[in-house]
Amino acid sequence: MDFSLLRNIISRYCAGEENWVDSRTVYIGHKEPPPGAEAYIPQRYPDNRIVSSKYTFWNFIPKNLFEQFRRIANFYFLLIFLVQLIIDTPTSPVTSGLPLFFVITVTAIKQGYEDWLRHKADCSINECPVDVVQQGKAVRTQSHKLRVGDIVMVREDDTFPCDLIFLSSSRDDGTCYVTTTSLDGESSHKTYYAVPDTMAFKTEQEVDSLHATIECEQPQPDLYKFVGRINIYKDKEEPVSRTLGAENLLLRGATLKNTQHIYAVAVYTGMETKMALNYQSKSQKRSAVEKSMNAFLIVYLCILISKALINTVLKYAWQWSPDRDEPWYNHRTEHERQRHVVIRAFTDFLAFMVLFNYIIPVSMYVTVEMQKFLGSYFITWDEEMFDEELGQGAQVNTSDLNEELGQVEYVFTDKTGTLTENNMEFIECCVDGNVYIPHAICNGQILSAASSIDMIDSSPGGYRREYEDLFFRALCLCHTVQVKEEETVDGIKRGIHQGRPTSFYISSSPDEVALVEGMKRLGYTYLRLKDNHMEILNKDDEIERFELLHVLNFDSVRRRMSVIVKTVSGEYLLFCKGADSSIFPRVVSGKVEQVKAHVEQNAVEGLRTLCVAYRRLSESEYREACHHLTEAMLALQDREQRLAQAYDVIERDFVLLGATAVEDRLQEKAADTIESLHKAGIKVWVLTGDKMETAAATCYASKLFRRSTQILELTKKRTKEQSLHDVLFELNRTVLRQRSISGLSVDCLDFGLIIDGATLSAVLKPTQEVSGHGNYREIFLEICRNCSAVLCCRMAPLQKAQIVKLIKLSKEHPITLAIGDGANDVSMILEAHVGIGIMGKEGRQAARNSDYAIPKFKHLKKMLLVHGHYYYIRIAELVQYFFYKNVCFIFPQFLYQFFCGFSQQPLYDTAYLTLYNISFTSLPILLYSLVEQHVTIDALKREPSLYRDIAKNSLLRWPVFLYWTCLGLFDAVTFFFGAYFLFDNTTFTSNGQMFGNWTFGTLIFTVLVFTVTLKLALDTRHWTWINHFVIWGSLLFYVIFSLLWGGIIWPFLNYQRMYYVFMQMLSSGPAWLSIILLITVSLLPDVIKKVLCRAICPTATERAQVQEKLLPGGVGEPTPLSFRRSYKGRSADSTLLHLGAGETISLSSSGPLAQKLLTHLAEGGGSDLSSLSPYMLRLSGAGFAYCAPGPETPV
């Protein structure tokens, strides 16, 4: 066993703070430093084993039993079982022990099987093959055997097995490309850099000869932060020290791309890796229904204790006189006479507890477990939730939370890969006020890219043609795209055209790939970067070469990037692209107003926009810029600040060329799903690691934010201008003022909040007092409560979990659901009440650690609005019904004690006591809880607002619980006193025999079984053949069992008190009449109550049920169709518009231009485009170009 963790804790807290260091020393290849360098202190670190399971072979039984007996019911039944074993009770210990053993065993098997699946998944990860460099050779070993200091070789498309420091690469420039989709949700290729002094090592022997140590910080969960230093020893020289940063650290879970292989050294392993530190620990999740069951159980436990106490007190009051205390037929033994009265009273109290304990049936927990387990299969069998592309359907990893799907109030969703397809597509561009849409259709034919520029009007004077050429060249040159010519990427063959492999693009930003591919469709193709020269293929199929002089990389503060290139003619050009807010203030000429209007329109449509500008540099200006850049790059102190200053000096006096629009395509029906969730009263929050502009655009596209939504920003940029305190109070005043103005008005202003990770950290700081008004988090929560949607961007995985926990623990205690597709979402999935994983492109970590897994985000709609709705309705009825039928069952037993001298005489036979909850009444409610549909599936999909009817655990609230309990008491009183008074004078059967106590009890039990079963039949709306079979079959089984039980003398019984009792009862005509009359009287109040409630104040669900009757087949009212954006240019979804002179043009009706034109036509503009003033349309081979006449025209 590894005691390193315990040793670290002891040395930190017991040995004194001076012995605790915040850094670790890693000896590369486990080589000691040379003599005289530094002391060699061997350190022990955890192995590379990942553990996501909850149990082990040794702790499964004690830990599982502890968790199960934390349930009040299980603990209670254990006590009852022990009481039955210790004292003489009216019933056998088997009646409590056997059901309890069954419940514990079934639950343990189910939870053990689920944890075994997690163990299996862990083993598949821990046993992955890894190449470790040992003695100059690459040795294949298993992942869990890796140790800190091992040198690892990772090949292309392999996942990094632990956190590694990058030493060398197969690429000459010492770089490698990595995707971190499973960590931060970004699928783009990121560039990492090898240590400069080791980047030349190309073989295992060279790497193994490295003699160095790494000093770095202790493990911490921040994915974007790393501080370290490498000391390289060369012969007898002083060690060479190089700083290490996040650009040198390769994180576990990331994947190597576009690089044949790399060598790296392990610094953090196993549960100390950043990925593991961002995992939340697994905890047992309990649903709101289970909490309600425990609360009801406490009430019934109090009722049980009260009953036992009342009967005990009344027994001793009634037996106060000697003739009643010890009648002639029941003399006590000498030992019983000598027992103290307190001990006798306590024993009698326990005996009454055992007699009445059936009011809390253990069978309810068995039935609930079976309902959850069997009901979960309906999710996996749902064909509508099966994805053909993945070849998989929904999965259920835990069935304990099925009903919680019907109680969700907050949905926290990831963006990339969850809301979006993680696939960027170039939509259009605006050049000097002209809009270009690739692949437009003219006379039914897609115009070729080669002719795209030829047909653009070159007048006046050709200056517009020059701007167009500059714009397209700028987008072909201003990027960090890499060209890959292999046939496969991510294991998928691509780039093959007519049997020959062609190049395709990869980049750290998917937007850049989309832009370069868009330019290719418009006639300009980026070919390669070779010998520091960028090559592009222009519209005339001519190769143009530009020398790449400098790249001014993108950063989130500047929000732009630039390149300086030199043309063949010796001209220096600076091309820049970036966010509109960072480009427009630096522009000195160009059609700013027209481009700005177009950018605003695209942003409203949810497209990601970038502006493009350029500047010509003279020889002296270039030399000055080069001087600024070189000076900043060589600085050892404040390098980032100096580079920012240099960039600011160089990037100015731009000429605006135009803007681009790129779409991160939403997943199919993602917007419809979010809209349905809003209608259902569910608040949706987007938690993403992406930047604010990108995430906001997606929120608009997915209808999370609407055009009317007023956006409130709580970001680092704003808190720099004002203090966090002032910003929070200003936002709080804004939302509270609007709420007070709107009052009860429906047309109140819609707020949306945007917050970033840095600001969230400041908000969540503990003990941060705000001038006596409480802490920041309460103000933040108040703002969030008044916002219809919230976007949290630049979130670390642990921050996602923190914000879910913040909402979960707020004073309303709402039910939360988290959904994501990557390992970066695991923390929030584990933190939320319900966690759902998407089987997306980012691995299976989220799906494996979630409670449920679905193929696409659109399936969440049916998961909640249909399955969740049904599960909650069914289990709520099951719980209430079980308590109701047991009140009906036991209260007559309580009343009977007043007529038998409180002697603990059972009213029912032992067989009836044992089988009532197990056989006679259990199957109908189990089947009801599996197949009942109070409204149809189509109605639930069509009317998401029906979800509000069951919100906040409405069917298990105290008033509803009280109604069911009172109904049970009424029925129990009806059974007992109805039978008592009806047979008060009619105590003889047809053959002159008298009714005894067992006949009286059997009569009440018969009325009881028929009443509770018929009550369930009245509540059933969805009848199938199996409902009929089980309900009527259960009643028939009771009759047959009673006939057999009382018709045969059973040799294994030491009593025959029930012999011929049931047949004797049925031979009496008054008994038949009494049974029918009592059943009718018992059911009547519930029927009257339902009729009156439906007539006076029907719920939305009841109104939907009425509509279904009026509309056979469940056909609802038609819903208005909404436009769905599709840029594939399918001719089946197109509109023909007349250009005049017999020429027509076909437009995709969902494209942005088509929507504008169709809107114009719908307003009476006519079907001829010649009437489409003030727009001027020009044809181009690869797209349409239209010109707006001026800034006053909305584009």
Cα Rg of the chain, angstroms: 38
Determine the Cα–Cα distance for residues 1145 and 1164; give it in Å rounded to an integer. 19
Determine the Cα–Cα distance for residues 142 and 157; give it in Å rounded to an integer. 18
Residue 814's CB: how many other CB atoms inside 10 A?
18
Give the amino acid at 1093. Answer: C
Q: Are 873 and 955 in contact (CB under 8 A)?
A: yes
In the numeric block, which tokens belong to residue 1061?
């009792």
Nearest by Cα to 935 from 949, 925, 924, 954:
949
Core vs surface per residue 217-249: b (16+ CB within 10 A) or e? eebebebeebebebbbbeeeeebeeeebeeebb
414 is catalytic: yes
Nearest by Cα to 558 from 536, 525, 592, 582:
582
Determine the Cα–Cα distance for residues 878 and 925; give it in Å rounded to an integer. 6
Q: Tell the residue number behind the tokens 């109805």, with chain if given.
A: 978
**CA 661 to the chain's CA centroid:** 30
Give the amino acid at 1159. Answer: T
Q: Tell the residue number behind the tokens 């009325």, with chain if given.
A: 1007
CA distances from 914 to 76, 94, 98, 103, 804 (A): 18, 9, 10, 15, 45
Determine the Cα–Cα distance for residues 609 and 1186; give it in Å rounded to an integer. 19
Q: Are 309 and 82 in contact (CB under 8 A)?
A: no
Determine the Cα–Cα distance for residues 158 and 262; give it in Å rounded to an integer. 11
Q: Are 631 and 596 in contact (CB under 8 A)?
A: no
Query: Is 295 buried (19+), middle (13-18) or exposed (0-12) by CB count in 10 A?
Result: middle
Nearest by Cα to 846 from 870, 830, 866:
830
To the nearest 10°, report the CA torsion of 680, 685, 686, 689.
Answer: -160
Query: Is 358 buried (19+), middle (13-18) or exposed (0-12) by CB count in 10 A?
Result: buried
Core vs surface per residue 305-335: b (16+ CB within 10 A) or e? eebbeebbeebeeebeeeeeeeeeeeeeeee
Q: Alpha helix (H) ranges present in 260-387?
A: 274-277, 288-318, 322-325, 334-338, 341-356, 362-375, 377-380
In the numeric block, which tokens belong to residue 750?
């819609």
Of 414, 511, 756, 851, the catalytic one is: 414
Core vs surface per residue 469-480: b (16+ CB within 10 A) or e? bbbbbbbbbbbb
Q: Are 549 and 592 in contact (CB under 8 A)?
A: no
End-to-end CA distance of the chain: 69
Determine the Cα–Cα distance for residues 552 and 563; give it in Å rounded to an integer. 6
Q: Is 1078 left (phi over 0), alpha (psi -120 to 50) or beta?
A: alpha
> 159 pairs with which residues across the strands?
255
**Residues 6+ positions from 1123 with CB-CB distance below 8 Å:** 1149, 1150, 1155
Q: Which is it for the CA torsion 236, 241, 244, 247, positive or negative? A: negative
Residues acting as catalytic residues = 414
